[in-house]
Amino acid sequence: MTKLEQIERSIAALSTKELKAFAKWFEAFQADVWDKQIEADAKAGRLDGFAEKALAEVRAGNCRRL
């Protein structure tokens, strides 16, 4: 049995209360992973092209104030 299969079985065996607690924890865990990835991408310059494109749109007057 793979590690993933073990995790799946463990999750399937949780009570409703435990499943809600796990879901809350996992959502926070995923958000933290996402934040770290975005931070790493920003530091590495992988988002620079997107930022430049957005700024060019603003400069060209293709945006409106919110």
How confident is the model over 6-22, as pLDDT tens digits? 999 999 999 999 999 99
Global pTM reads 0.71
The pLDDT value given to residue 18: 98
Give me the pLDDT at residue 65, please.
85
Return the pLDDT at 59: 95
With a cut of 90, say whether residue 66 has pLDDT above it: no
Do you know the residue count of the chain? Answer: 66
Instruction: State pLDDT tens for residues 30-49.
Output: 999 999 999 999 999 999 99
Burial of 37 (0-12, 13-18, 19+ CB in 10 A): exposed
